[in-house]
Structure 1
């Protein structure tokens, strides 16, 4: 009797379906555009998502109606039967003798598959809801779930305590092992690793491992507890599935990146070998008589430049094989880094180019005494971006290479014979003093100055004939051992020039000529050691005598 009533109901529904489908089709098509999808959720478990408006009912109405029918069926029967029944191109989902809802092709998305497959999956979920509803009403089942939860919680707390005690034991054991192992790592008497730096790092790593274990243990405990009860079981399954999906994703990423990473490492190993080969070849080519521009001074920058080109080329070749190189995030980061380099490193590139120009044109060399603009001193370091010079006053100046290439550079060491530099000074004496006498006095002052090399001979040049006086320039060669020697040498040379000119009664003054002074402007020899110079000179002579061997 019940079976025939069901068949009669199905036939009546079929007739109504055919009659109403033509009328509601237009309305359904319009409503399909504006209706929002609605999810059918029972006992905290998702059953199906309605997308289409069917027979004038929006997805929200269909979901509400299905929820009410299923709830009534669960209240009426402890274990109602769930089945599906095809009707035209759709499927009826039946619970007991009642129609729960209809699955239409318009309800499916591109990833849902066929209508039949979707209906079977929905029936399985609905059957699971029926089973969980039965479990939720079973007191014995709930008591068993509560007991399992209590046992799992006790085990969880015990494991947490065990992990904490393991961390404390490791913190007490690590310092001894670190001191024992690092003491063996020595080069000569120098220890490679410092315990004070290693122990904090190991402590942080141990803390990271500890919190990772606590998080993983808490995650698994929560997943287990949630899965014990019917209502929270979907949450536990989603947590467990998320962890499994995450592990699968990481494993797939590692396996997928392994071939490309292998190729990238191979490219880097080839670049390393090529860089070592080029370095060895450049060292052989830098020997005297091989290549004129490649010598001891240009070998190091040439080697670095060659290695930089090789590694940049290797990076460009290995870039497509690096993990994540084709992702939008990696591409965006590459564009950002390139933009930052373009905007912020233009001056750096200019400095580096200027450094290469100075190196390969051999404008400067370490140890040479030069004058760059208003700065003067000995070149101590010729770098890629800056050049350091040490003045005779004990100052160390760091000059940008771009400034050096844009300024006039005087090199006092390049034209001398052997190590050393050129020392020069200028004086202006009136036309009433014979020029031959002035040259002789300047040469005499150079001869008296210790540190001025007699070979090649010092020379005097008349560089300018001004309105009121000629200008004389004394040029000699010195061989200093330190940059400060040039400052001392110039000081001694200037002192001897004054002494010689005073001995011969020649005044060193170059005013605009208005008339001869009433008293000549020179210092008699009797006044050379006027106080307090006399006292300091006597002390100097006394200390010199004390230092002489007996």
Structure 2
């Protein structure tokens, strides 16, 4: 009879609340919308039950939470039946704790993205309340608390044992690592060079072991803390949140890896195809560089053409594979792409200009390695013709690095291009007064060239009168040097200048050029009988 009366009491109370809710819920069409309420969370015994978002019968969400807490606390302290159930009332649901109404779930309290419907929200709140009831009974059980303490003690002992095992294994590995590394490094060699250097490899392995040790320690500590917190009713929500967070992170990483495999496979396939295209283009360009095939492609332009073709293929492959790379659609990846593009755009003006100048020098064949050139005020032998800079070695042993854009914007003299065979041109200029026969000066300069070791006799040296100045004519001696001799151009010019001085002194010819401040007493001319003074060769010149 008593249970029957309780059922009738619950039904009557439910009908009464249905009438009240029906009377209070509908609003006239012209009534102003109620003000937005601040959501308040109902939490009992450290566990979240429900979030109230709307007022009900004039009660704010905060007051509804206080009222629900009072009812649930009073019911938990009693010894009556603590079964949890729900009862529909119009569009709302009553959550009953035994025969008492714990709280009401209305449609305005439900977040559709979180629960989906009012019934699902009420069932979820009832399940959580039922869990609170069970945890309250467990917290009042001495046997359960003792079992939880024993489980925590066992877990702590296992945790400490695993920590000791980690430190013990690391210490043993660090002790045995030097012996293993000194025993097996000779197995990995490229030619006579060892791939693994013990002096640098040991600190790397030691740091990796240190990192692995702390990762394992943190993981074990995380799991131990989650297990201990889950043993007690009040801290169980914290332990469950720790475990669920770790599982969510692990699942997220696993799903990301599995989801990235198809795109990564497509990207790898594109890169393998690009690698095959690079190999095919290299072989094709090598065959096209054969003599008589293409005029612009030879052994000098083959290497830069191959590099440019390979670069173009790889850039195209990267552009094709970019959408399939893992994380290509994330904001971080997009920001990194924008940063790289900005850096390239800011520095592209000078880089692209230098690269374009290098291509111009390569394909116009302005310079070649081994040629003796003069670039502006610098002269020397070209040792390296790169994409951005060119290196030349001067006669004084200096190595000059000149930007390619500077070479294309200035006059370049090539002393090796117009010679017969391999070699370079040597020239020097002297000024002798008009009172010295020009034939004699020519003979003296040719004699000095003949005495200089390293000056090629065939083709023979030549003397040119390049200017007739106010006080003297200018003579230029042009000869070809022998490149096979290990003698820099500066040393060769030094020997040539020394021989010029010796020859002019032997024949009593003054090298110092005259500069007149007033007219001389006697005209500075050469009589005809002195036109062929030694060592001038007699010719029928008039």
TM-score, normalisation: structure 1: 0.90
Give, in whole Å, the separation in 1 of the partners of 2:499 and 2:411: 31
Give, in whole Å, the separation in 2 of the partners of 1:195 and 1:517: 85
Superposition pairs for residues 356-505 of structure 1, below 5 Å?
356-481=359-484, 484-505=487-508
Q: 1:10 to 1:79 in 2, by over 3 A?
A: closer
Give, in whole Å, the separation in 2 of the partners of 1:19 and 1:393: 107
Question: Once the two structures are superposed, what CA deviation does each residue of 1:80-131 show, in whole Å capped at 9, x if it has no partner?
Answer: 1211111111111111222222111121223211111111111000000011
Aligned position for 1:527: none
1:94 is paired with a residue of what secondary structure? Answer: strand
Aligned position for 1:30: 34
Contact 1:388 1:399 (8 Å CA) reproduced: yes
Aligned position for 1:21: 25
Give, in whole Å, the separation in 1 of the partners of 2:306 and 2:104: 77
Q: 1:236 to 1:26 in 2, by over 3 A?
A: farther
Contact 1:89 1:104 (8 Å CA) reproduced: yes
Aligned position for 2:315: 312
Question: Once the two structures are superposed, what CA deviation does each residue of 1:126-180 show, in whole Å capped at 9, x if it has no partner?
Answer: 0000111111111221121111111111111111111111111111222222222
Give, in whole Å, the separation in 1 of the partners of 2:517 and 2:489: 37
Deviates more, 1:307-316 or 1:108-117: 108-117
Question: Once the two structures are superposed, what CA deviation does each residue of 1:285-330 show, in whole Å capped at 9, x if it has no partner?
Answer: 2222222211111111111111111110111111111111111221
Question: Once the two structures are superposed, what CA deviation does each residue of 1:180-210 show, in whole Å capped at 9, x if it has no partner?
Answer: 2212223454323212222222222222222
Contact 1:225 1:236 (8 Å CA) reproduced: yes
Aligned position for 2:151: 148
Aligned position for 1:10: 14
Contact 1:480 1:486 (8 Å CA) reproduced: no
Aligned position for 1:198: 201
Count of equivalent residues: 516
Shift of 1:424: 0.3
- 1:84 maps onto 2:82 in alignment: no
Shift of 1:517: 9.2
Question: Once the two structures are superposed, what CA deviation does each residue of 1:195-245 show, in whole Å capped at 9, x if it has no partner?
Answer: 222222222222222222111211111111111000010111111111111
Gaps of 5+ in 1: 519-550
Shift of 1:23: 7.0
Shift of 1:406: 1.0
Give, in whole Å, the separation in 2 of the partners of 1:191 and 1:4: 91
Shift of 1:52: 2.0
Give, in whole Å, the separation in 2 of the partners of 1:294 and 1:14: 93
Deviates more, 1:66-75 or 1:334-343: 66-75
Q: 1:455 to 1:78 in 2, by over 3 A?
A: farther
- 1:238 maps onto 2:209 in alignment: no
Contact 1:27 1:56 (8 Å CA) reproduced: no
Give, in whole Å, the separation in 2 of the partners of 1:79 and 1:377: 105
Shift of 1:13: 2.5
Give, in whole Å, the separation in 2 of the partners of 1:62 and 1:511: 118
Question: Once the two structures are superposed, what CA deviation does each residue of 1:38-79 show, in whole Å capped at 9, x if it has no partner?
Answer: 111111111111222322333222222222221121122365
Aligned position for 2:171: 168
Aligned position for 1:106: 108
Q: Give me the CA root mean square deviation.
A: 2.0
2:516 is paired with a residue of what secondary structure? Answer: coil
Q: 1:433 to 1:87 in 2, by over 3 A?
A: same
Give, in whole Å, the separation in 2 of the partners of 1:361 and 1:198: 48
Contact 2:93 2:122 (8 Å CA) reproduced: yes
Contact 2:22 2:90 (8 Å CA) reproduced: no
Give, in whole Å, the separation in 2 of the partners of 1:279 and 1:10: 86
TM-score, normalisation: structure 2: 0.91
Question: Once the two structures are superposed, what CA deviation does each residue of 1:514-544 show, in whole Å capped at 9, x if it has no partner?
Answer: 25899xxxxxxxxxxxxxxxxxxxxxxxxxx
Contact 1:85 1:94 (8 Å CA) reproduced: yes
Find the partner of 1:61 among 63, 69, 73. Answer: 63
Contact 1:28 1:55 (8 Å CA) reproduced: no
Give, in whole Å, the separation in 1 of the partners of 2:283 and 2:100: 88
Give, in whole Å, the separation in 1 of the partners of 2:30 and 2:127: 33
Shift of 1:488: 1.2
Contact 1:393 1:484 (8 Å CA) reproduced: no
Q: 1:241 to 1:28 in 2, by over 3 A?
A: farther
Structure with the bigger RCO (C-alpha within 8 Å, sep 6+) is 2
2:25 is paired with a residue of what secondary structure? Answer: helix
Q: 1:78 to 1:429 in 2, by over 3 A?
A: farther
Give, in whole Å, the separation in 1 of the partners of 2:106 and 2:310: 67
Aligned position for 2:216: 213
Give, in whole Å, the separation in 2 of the partners of 1:93 and 1:52: 17
Deviates more, 1:73-82 or 1:257-266: 73-82
Gaps of 5+ in 2: 522-542
- 1:119 maps onto 2:122 in alignment: yes
Give, in whole Å, the separation in 1 of the partners of 2:389 and 2:236: 68
Shift of 1:335: 1.1
Give, in whole Å, the separation in 2 of the partners of 1:249 and 1:179: 42
Give, in whole Å, the separation in 2 of the partners of 1:481 and 1:346: 42
